[in-house]
Structure 1
């Protein structure tokens, strides 16, 4: 019957994948205990600081949006000029 070779290849592939999975569990990067780790204390933000951060991020987002729009418009203009000349 046909298909024995392909089934053997599938079985070998499953065995190889299973062996890789067991090795991956042994080499976990975050093994160990975190009982001796001290957590850092961060100061609380005041409402004025939060407003300042909010305003600053709004301004930065506005600047990046205008830059992206200018680049897009420039690309459209250059593309239309190029297509007109062809």
Structure 2
């Protein structure tokens, strides 16, 4: 069995991230946000299981607020990822 890994967000994933940024009221650069999500270990650990997801946390410090806390999360599901085989 070939092991697969989440290589990047697919078209549906990019659209999902855009909608989530809007829902959270964040006017962030979509491309930069997608790259940040794709570069996290949690995203790379997604499996092809349709019930698998990763929560990308947006902390207060990420939006320029002082103190600890979380502004929100973007849930990225396996259906939002493009999977590629692992070179072994």
Instruction: Give the TM-score range, shorter chain.
Output: under 0.3
Larger RCO of the pair (alpha carbons < 8 Å, separation 6+): 2
With normalisation by structure 1, the TM-score equals 0.22
Structure richer in strand, relative to its length: 2
Structure richer in helix, relative to its length: 1
Larger radius of gyration: 1
With normalisation by structure 2, the TM-score equals 0.22
